[in-house]
Amino acid sequence: MTATLEPPDILSPEFARDPYSAYRLLRDEFPLVWHEAMQTYVISRYEDVQRAFKDPVFTSENYAWQLEPVHGRTILQMEGREHSTHRSLVAPAFRGKALQEQFGPTIRRNSRDLVDAFRADGHVDLVDAYATRFPINVIVDMLGLPRTDHDRFHAWYTSIMGFLSNLAGDEAVMAEGLRTKAEFEAYMIPRIRERREHPGDDLLSTLCAAEIDGESMTDEEIKAFCSLLLTAGGETTDKAITSLMADLVAHPEQLDAVRRDRSLIPAAFAETLRWSPPVHMIMRQPSEAVELSGGVVEAGRTVTCLIGAANRDERRFERPEVFDVLRADLDHSRAFSAAADHLAFCLGRHFCVGALLSLFEIEVGMNDLLDAMTDIRFAGGEPPPETGVFTRAPGRLLLEFTPS
């Protein structure tokens, strides 16, 4: 008797060890599957995930229970005019020229300081010494907050990401996230009020002063955006740097190509966002019944979009299981826009507002790392395993190198 094929469980240890094999099975046999424990539909094909990010029938109302308890109400759960207004209030600070001119020195200084601390050693855990620190330090400094608070913000970042990644509902992790929210609010609100009275040239002052048609953000909205920036901006860049370096070291010929031609760094970053994205799943909620591959999703049901699966869909990409910096079916000219081919930053109206910040950080960081290290290799000889389900990257990246 032939055994009945069962869909992979995205909360199982087997899935956590190797989601990519499960992704193939889901795309081919179970493109739409109900996960009872999480009370969500799971979708995995590129065309379905792309539609969930672009079609207005898919709302972000799920963030009311997913994000609001730890961040407060953020731009991610806004729709229509409210969303467009708030996005217009924050977006100018994250556009290319303004970003590089105002915050370029801060970004370069933070990267250089971290690299200088280990460049002579010949070995490093890139996660602990650099990747998980760099974007958080940058955000603290962009906001104009004391550099002595870098470690405090790193601890808050770790706690909030634990809350957001807690798909199994561990009560201790939830409680820690809620304590962090209260601590972050107690820290930020007085500083926001102080910047309203005494503005400077930092991002926090810019957010306080931003106004469109007489509308501006409240203290609570600015605090929530800063909390979101800490995690969304931190996690994406943290895991992207780790995965990008791991991907390149695992493909020495491509690492050599990027070392010789630094203009390939954005292409390498874009391919990492496709092949091993920092965020593997994002949720949406349709406002009316919608038909996808494999069936119909009822109005109001949560849909978990598997970015890690969609980005390796052979229906969309040639040789999707191959890491290729020079991939022809990934348009690098729009890889960091709302029209990107990969799905790592979402698409459409909720495209990541910090995508260009992440790109700039990656360009600065990778140049600094490649300048400091030659003959980069994995300590022990083998690529490290990825960890995580909601977000995913190597938990440690032990490298040996020749200082340069």
The H-or-E segment that residue 327 falls in is none
d(CA 255, CA 20) in angstroms, rounded, equals 23
Structural domain contains residue 331: yes
Residues of the chain predicted below pLDDT 50: 1
Asked whether the beta carbons of 2 and 294 are under 8 A apart, the reply is no
- pLDDT attached to residue 75: 83
Structural domain contains residue 188: yes
d(CA 106, CA 104) in angstroms, rounded, equals 5
SS3 of residue 41 by DSSP? strand
Structural domain contains residue 3: no
d(CA 53, CA 305) in angstroms, rounded, equals 9
Strand order from edge to edge, sheet including 281-286:
32-35, 40-43, 302-306, 281-286, 58-59
- pLDDT attached to residue 1: 45
d(CA 236, CA 94) in angstroms, rounded, equals 15
d(CA 255, CA 31) in angstroms, rounded, equals 35
d(CA 156, CA 164) in angstroms, rounded, equals 12
Number of domains composing the chain: 1
- pLDDT attached to residue 214: 82
Structural domain contains residue 59: yes
Structural domain contains residue 249: yes
Asked whether the beta carbons of 112 and 99 are under 8 A apart, the reply is no
Tell me which residue range forms the domain holding 26: 18-403
The H-or-E segment that residue 245 falls in is helix 234-250
- pLDDT attached to residue 130: 97
Supply the angle between the helices 96-116 and 355-372 in degrees, to the nearest 10.
Answer: 30
Structural domain contains residue 7: no
The pTM score is: 0.92
- pLDDT attached to residue 166: 81
The H-or-E segment that residue 219 falls in is helix 219-228
Count of C-beta atoms within a 10 Å radius of residue 223: 23
The separation between CA 281 and the C-alpha centre of its own chain, rounded to angstroms, equals 10
Contacts of 132 (CB under 8 A, 6+ apart): 154, 238
**Residues making up the chain, counted from first to last:** 404
- CATH code for the domain in which residue 374 is found: 1.10.630.10
Structural domain contains residue 88: yes
Asked whether the beta carbons of 68 and 74 are under 8 A apart, the reply is yes
Structural domain contains residue 82: yes
d(CA 104, CA 133) in angstroms, rounded, equals 17
